[in-house]
Amino acid sequence: MTDWISGATISAAVQIAILYCVIYAILKRAKGSRFGQALTGVGVLAAVLFVFSYLFKFDVLTRIVQFLLVYLAVSTVVIFQPEIRRVLMAIGAFGAFEKRKFLSGGIPSAEFLADSLMALARARIGALVAFERGISLRGVEDTGVRLDAVFSPELVKSIFTPPLPLHDGGLVMRDGRIASAHCIFPVSNNPSLTGSGMRHRAALGLSEETDALVFVVSEETGSISVAHNGKIVRYDIEGEGAEAPIVRWLSKALPSGEEKRLFSGVRAALSKFFPKADKKGVAA
């Protein structure tokens, strides 16, 4: 008997928790809309009437409230159809159903950034993007135009589309935001870059002096190159799984990446004295 009561208690607690989570999710998604305000008002009114009728044993009032709530629910669906559809779409897009574009703090996800870079590559729009990590890029940022803007593919495309004023030069990303555009990066004199364009030389030059991760989109070949620690690797965006290596590099470039920015500056300084062999490093 005791086991049955404890089992029933656990089952009731689980059901209450599930109901609470569902109601909380709906109210959170509907917050600020007319449907959310109406739903909150109806819920408060129904709760007050039920408590009032229960305390004073008003059975007739309880039945009337239950009867009216059925018709009120139907009328709510009809009146607030657009708002309900938006709430259901927001709930359906939660979690694993859709790729998250932004992480906590408004930082764009690595997948979102990779999609944006690959869209530039497919459109054959040349781009040069540097992600600040442990070593500050303030000096490079001062050579360009400060933006401090939220990242969006449309903004990046408009920046690098010629003949717009900011298309020439590099873009600096800091903490997931566009810090500055039209920046001048130091140019590398590496002899292995013979035949490469100025964007690739600038990307490698910045990676030689800092620990930044620099991405180059080639307008001639439509490929994406990554420069880091004095090495540059080129990736072809065609074919299955072409996005995976770009995402891996970008996950390291973001503040929430695998390598913490607190120690990346120390590692970059040590790597100058104790460089590691990179079998994938090739001239772009």
Q: Show the tokens assigned to 210.
A: 């800092």
Question: What H or E segment, with its residue span, contains residue 150?
Answer: strand 145-150
Please state, for a pLDDT cut of 90, what percent of the chain lies above it: 37
- Helices 59-79, 81-92: crossing angle, 10 deg rounding: 80
- CB atoms closer than 10 angstroms to residue 51: 10
Bond into 163 cis (ω within 30): yes
Does 258 or 255 have the greater pLDDT score? 255
Residues 45-49: contacts with CB under 8 Å, at least 24 apart: none
User: Mean of the pLDDT values across residues 107-133?
Assistant: 93
Q: How far apart are the first and last CA of the chain?
A: 75
Question: What H or E segment, with its residue span, contains residue 16?
Answer: helix 2-29
Going 50 to 54 to 55 to 59, the CA torsion angle's sign is: positive
| 186-216 pLDDT per residue, tens | 999 888 887 788 999 999 999 999 999 999 9
pLDDT class of 90 with cuts at 50, 70, 90: low
| 135-189 pLDDT per residue, tens | 999 999 999 999 999 999 999 999 999 988 999 999 999 988 999 999 999 999 8
User: Mean of the pLDDT values across residues 231-237?
Assistant: 90
Q: What local confidence, expressed as pLDDT, does residue 202 receive?
A: 94
pLDDT class of 127 with cuts at 50, 70, 90: very high
Does 260 or 106 have the greater pLDDT score? 106
Whether the pLDDT of residue 262 is over 80: the answer is: no
Strand partners, 227: 214, 232
Whether the pLDDT of residue 9 is over 50: the answer is: yes
Q: What local confidence, expressed as pLDDT, does residue 121 receive?
A: 93
Domains of the chain: 2-97 (no CATH), 104-273 (3.40.1700.10)
Whether the pLDDT of residue 97 is over 70: the answer is: no
Q: What local confidence, expressed as pLDDT, does residue 283 receive?
A: 41
Q: Apex CA 162: angle with CA 119 and CA 133, to 5°?
A: 60
Whether the pLDDT of residue 280 is over 80: the answer is: no
How many residues in total does the chain contain?
284
Which amino acid does the sequence have at 18?
Answer: I
